[in-house]
Amino acid sequence: MKFLDNILFQVDNTEKEQLIVGRNINDLDDKYTEEFNQELERDPNAIIHMPRSFFDHNQDILVSKHHRFSVMPTHKHNFVEMNYIYSGNCTQYINDETVLLHEHSLLMLDKNISHSIDYMNKDDILVNILLKDGNSINSILDTISSSPNIVTQFLFNASKIDSIHDNYIIFNLDNNEYAQYLIESLIYKGLGNDLDKNNAMHALYSLLVPELVKCVQSELINFNTYKNQDTVQLLNYINQNYKSITLPQLAKKFKYNSNYLGNKLKVDTGKTFQELVDMRKFAVASQLLKEIHKSLHIL
């Protein structure tokens, strides 16, 4: 999208400073910087943990441009991160493995996975898309009606506290113009000043996920695939049959004891069966209200 060029290729203040000093400039808030410096005094090999304070209290998805002209040191974060190469190339080191990305590559990183980013030149543009936490991820999964796949499994695993978080997926969007359009629309919306952009970004993210399934280039997956796939199948069945489904019916369909299934859903998702059904009803009702609101505006 050419209208993004003026935003993304512009040299920002941090980039200007990095060009002058030749090293990474910490643009985090002073309180966090002080805490990290104290941690470094205790452990010189400490890895930066990016704070959740990036997000406003009512913000689930955050979009920002990666600052060029410096190496980004090894760091971790307690949220899902997607790196989209809008232009040029990028070299990253993920758990000491070298990963090469090119224009229209998309890297999806799990929570708490360590990575660093090599020096990026003026024509190398990387955009960060951050997804806040488990509730945000579950909200997006609620709006996706497709069958279980590697992306929904990845997101489901990332939403769980007690899972292994050492996973990433690389997507190649070269041959999927619709996926490019969706992610660049998401970036444009995220970089804008619209106060009500969160809902629109959720919708774009939900549309993007099924397209990403077609674009998987490589992945490193370290979670129990069968267990997660089974739970995602349960959630998808609930989402598709939320109007009339009961726990005994669900248990019969998937050959579980009702009490065991209720406990399994609670352990795996943090929510009861009824809470999952109610969440789906609320998501559908909210979407219907949005469509009615848009229709009234058109009239």
Q: Which two tokens stand for residue 217?
A: 């280039």
Whether the predicted pLDDT of 224 surpasses 60: no
What share of the chain has pLDDT > 90, as a percent? 35
The rounded distance, in Å, linking the Cα atoms of 81 and 173 is 17
Q: Are 165 and 113 in contact (CB under 8 A)?
A: yes
CA separation, residue 130 to residues 62, 202, 259 (Å): 5, 12, 37
The token duo for 9 is 């290729």
Residue 89 has pLDDT above 80, yes or no: yes
Helix, strand, or coil here: 121?
coil
* Mean pLDDT for all residues in the chain: 82
Q: pLDDT tens across 118-158, in order?
A: 999 999 999 999 987 666 676 676 666 555 678 887 887 77
Helix or strand (DSSP H, E) at 187: helix 177-191
3-state secondary structure of 67: coil
Return the half-sphere exposure (C-beta side, CA atoms, 13 A cut-off) of residue 226: 0
In which residue ranges of the chain is CATH 2.60.120.280 found?
2-220
Distance in angstroms (rounded) separating the CA atoms of residues 223 and 158: 10
pLDDT category of residue 299 using cuts at 50, 70 and 90 = very low
Is the pLDDT at 106 greater than 90? The verdict is yes
Amino acid at the residue 241: N
What global pTM score does this model have?
Answer: 0.74
What is the CATH number that goes with domain 2-220?
Answer: 2.60.120.280
Asked whether the predicted pLDDT for residue 165 surpasses 80, the reply is no
| Rounded-to-integer distance, Cα 93 and Cα 115, Å | 5
pLDDT in tens, 42-71: 766 767 777 666 667 677 889 999 999 999
- The per-residue pLDDT for 226 is 42
Contact predicate 80/128, CB 8 Å: no
Residues 6+ apart with CB under 8 A from 122: 9, 11, 68, 69
What mean pLDDT do residues 21-46 have? 70
